[in-house]
Amino acid sequence: MNGVIPLNKEIGMTSSDYVYKLRKILHTKKIGHTGTLDPLVDGVLPICVGQSTKLVNRLTGSSKEYVGEITLGKSTTTEDREGDIVKEVKLTKPFSDEELHEVFEKMIGELVQIPPMYSAVRVNGKKLYEYARAGIEVERPKRQIHIYDFNIVGEPEFDTELGIQKVKFHVTCSKGTYVRTLAVEYGEFLGVPSFMSQLTRTKSADFNIEETFKLDEIRKMMDEDDHSFLRSTDEVLSYMQAHELSDEEWEVRVLHGGFLDLDNYDYDKDLRVTRNHVTKAIYKYNEERQLWIPDTMLLNND
């Protein structure tokens, strides 16, 4: 079994939990997810199976889309609703739509983030959340991210009694973006504490949430010997330029990890090479050698 499952992750389970359960459902060990989603976050989580596990890093590197909610007036230890409240400022009036829009626009483009302490980023071999749970503060590595789009969804809600304002949003961002931290930074621009009170990933690796499958659906489909939840490697990589291999190129070159001398392709983009129109490898162009060299081998893909 080879391909990618556009999984709909539900709240309460980790990404690793799904890998564990799918190994049993699909009766295969070769499974990998394409980027950690926190237990409180639901939505699109592409799962790679078989030969397609070699695409994990490629798919993880794609941009992501989310819809969520920022609560203004409080901040938490974990930057989301799971943590304890560490700061609270009762808002006496709501921020205007103009003020809210202005901050969203300011945050579009290149940003530098510091990952939250409650995250899976590793420092000296340990995950940051392990330090956080032990009460140890460590220096966290900065990372550069890109926000392609960030805007309000619907009407903000103001709670006069609690002194908080809730703002729903949509964001398109690069790999490695912590949306929890974006929510905190959004409040900082307004001069108030804030946290991310809800988050759903709506798109990842070109899979939209409308085309995803829940775990129970996959389990039922497997019982009926229906594998239509699985997207083929060829379908997932269909955006790439492709070259159909000749017998000589396949038997003499690609099968042995050899280079290819090909013209008429964009040298700045990866090249998918196929045998009987099935993807067998991904090649990159090497300017020094002026040849295409293998990057990812998918010889057993079918």
Which residue in the list 17, 38, 149, 261 is annotated as catalytic? 38
Structure tokens at 19: 């890998």
Tokens of 174: 């690069």
Half-sphere exposure of 196 (CA within 13 A, CB side): 24
Q: Which residue stretches of the chain are H helix?
A: 15-26, 56-60, 97-106, 128-133, 179-190, 215-223, 233-236, 247-248
201: helix, coil or strand? strand
The number of beta carbons lying within 10 Å of the beta carbon of residue 106 is 13
- Residue 256's CB is within 10 A of a number of other CB atoms, namely 8
3-state SS class at 167: strand
Q: Which two tokens stand for residue 156?
A: 């903000």
Residue 177 structure tokens: 């973006």
Q: Of all helices (H) and strands (E), which one includes residue 75? A: strand 74-76
Active site (annotated) includes residue 295:
no
Rounded-to-integer distance, Cα 256 and Cα 258, Å? 5
Give residue for tokens 């129109």: 277
The catalytic residues are 38
